[in-house]
Amino acid sequence: MIKVTPFHAFHRAAGAHMAAFAGYEMPIYYTSIQEEHLAVRQRAGLFDVSHMGEFIIRGPQALDLVQLVTTNDAAKLSDGQAQYSCMTHERGGVLDDLIVYCIEKQKVYMLVVNAANIAADREWIIQHNAFDAEVVDISEKTCLLALQGPAALNILQPFTDVDLIKLPYYRFVKTSLLGFKPVLISATGYTGAGGVELYFENKDQAAETIWQALTEAGKPYDMKLAGLGARDTLRLEMGYCLYGHELNPDITPLEAGLGWIVKWNKDFIGKPALLQQKEQGIARKLVGFRLIEKGIPRQDYSILDMEGRPIGHVTSGSFSPSLNQPIGLGYVETAYAQPDTPIQIRIRNQNVKAVVTSLPFLKKS
């Protein structure tokens, strides 16, 4: 049975083009992916991403469990800090990428995981819980809205006492919003456009009230409702990995360019395998590329060298609305991973010229 979020009726009323995504019927776009994308880059956009999963890990040794199952160093986090991380299996492959929220140092953490992996992640964490920690899956009752873009803080500010401009990237506050509490306001997102994400429980019509307040407050800023289509093109311009595309159990974080979230000063599942790979060097590497001829790269298309020899494959691709050209991510043999290396993408029986490009595609202005 396909699930819906508490905002489903609003999506329908707004004329959203809906599709199944990770077991949920979610809005892909309302009017146009490119319009929504540009609204987020230039003004603001509101995304319902309530399909994402949330776990609370609680107990005197909660930190030990988080440290064991994730690759980044959660011990560095103080209350109110968040951290991008991933979970790896014994051979170092990526089970999921996630955000770790430190709610109470040592004792209470929230892990935010991909919707498609909720059940598997939960089982994996419970299976490795040798620390008597409480692992609570709060995914079903938790709403998550992403308010993103340069005007996002202006839109939210009238509803909260928190001085949003002073909330640094990857910090969060547990506060009240429109009389609902707790609401977790987090300076995170998946767009590179700035803004916040709001986590709250859907009780006493919180979902309805908050959605209506934000859409009303967004009007003077010409905020748009934005779907998963724009979310995908926005993250792609930033070179952010998407699970099921750049990340899967056969890929290690080192290959995916996520070495910066793998910390060697602590133990975690998969560390010996990753250490070995680090010493031996990686055979393939995730790169960004842009096409210099027409075409759109899509997942699983072959990447070729200039002689036509296969050297890798595309993991994501689209037309970049901000750069007005086709871009993509993919794995190539390490020798081809340097920026400016000419490559070709095999698009339906044609070799289309492309060039390896440093990430993010969208440079900070």
**Known binding-site positions for substrate:** 197
Sequence-ordered strand ranges (E) for the chain: 17-21, 24-29, 45-48, 53-58, 81-88, 94-104, 108-113, 134-137, 142-148, 172-177, 180-186, 195-201, 224-225, 284-291, 302-304, 310-320, 325-333, 342-347, 350-357
Candidates 195, 295, 328, 330; binder of other proteins (CB under 8 A) is 295
Minimum Å gap between C-beta 231 and other proteins is 12
Site for other proteins, residues 225 to 254, rule: CB under 8 A: 229, 233
Residue 361 is classified by DSSP as S
At residue 291, φ and ψ (nearest 5 deg) are -85, 140
Instruction: Supply 325's token pair.
Output: 């050209």
Size of the site for other proteins (CB under 8 A): 18
Q: Between 253 and 317, whose beta carbon lies closer to other proteins? A: 317
Minimum Å gap between C-beta 7 and other proteins is 21
Q: Between 172 and 240, whose beta carbon lies closer to other proteins? A: 240
What residues contact residue 314 under an 8 Å CB cut-off, 6+ apart?
Answer: 297, 298, 299, 300, 301, 302, 303, 328, 329, 330, 345
Binding mask of the shown chain, residues 23 to 62, with x at each position contacting other proteins by CB under 8 A: -----xx--xxxx---------------------------
**Alpha carbon 299 to chain centroid distance?**
18
Minimum Å gap between C-beta 14 and other proteins is 15
Task: Return the SS3 of 335.
Answer: helix
Minimum Å gap between C-beta 294 and other proteins is 6
Minimum Å gap between C-beta 315 and other proteins is 16
294 near other proteins, rule: CB under 8 A? yes
Summarize as ranges the residues that interact with other proteins (CB under 8 A). Answer: 17, 28-29, 32-35, 229, 233, 294-296, 298, 318-319, 321, 326, 348
